[in-house]
Amino acid sequence: DVKVTQSSRYLVKRTGEKVFLECVQDMDHENMFWYRQDPGLGLRLIYFSYDVKMKEKGDIPEGYSVSREKKERFSLILESASTNQTSMYLCASSSPGSGRRNEQFFGPGTRLTVL
């Protein structure tokens, strides 16, 4: 089975702190994704990566950056956390190919609270 793990289930940070959310997958997937999930807004794509060191902006990249130095790891960075970034963050991965790239496998999520 595909396993996607996220470094923390719950995280509490202060406004202005730099925050790192880590995601690791063990299925040698080329594609990795970061979403945030908010009540009433559903899942929104922040960034995705289709290869090491490659990244593409999603629908809401403002205030975030990402890093992918190794195939299995995809990091989401909040350069200066703000209270409106309090949310559930979900990482996902998928293999290449038509259809397969859309079949995404999700991690358990990180509930981030910014005070």
Residue 83: HSE in the Cβ half-sphere, 13 Å Cα cutoff = 1
**Among residues 85 and 94, whose Cβ is nearest to another protein?**
94
Work out how close the CB of 82 gets to another protein at its nearest, in angstroms, rounded to a whole number: 23
DSSP labels for 90-109? Answer: EEEEE-SSTTGGG--EE---
Work out how close the CB of 78 gets to another protein at its nearest, in angstroms, rounded to a whole number: 20
- Using CB under 8 A, list all residues that contact another protein: 4, 31, 33, 40-43, 45, 48, 50, 56, 58, 90, 92, 98-99, 101-109, 111
**Among residues 55 and 75, whose Cβ is nearest to another protein?**
55
Residue 81 and residue 18: Cα distance in Å, rounded?
6
Name the 3-class secondary structure at 19: strand
Work out how close the CB of 16 gets to another protein at its nearest, in angstroms, rounded to a whole number: 27
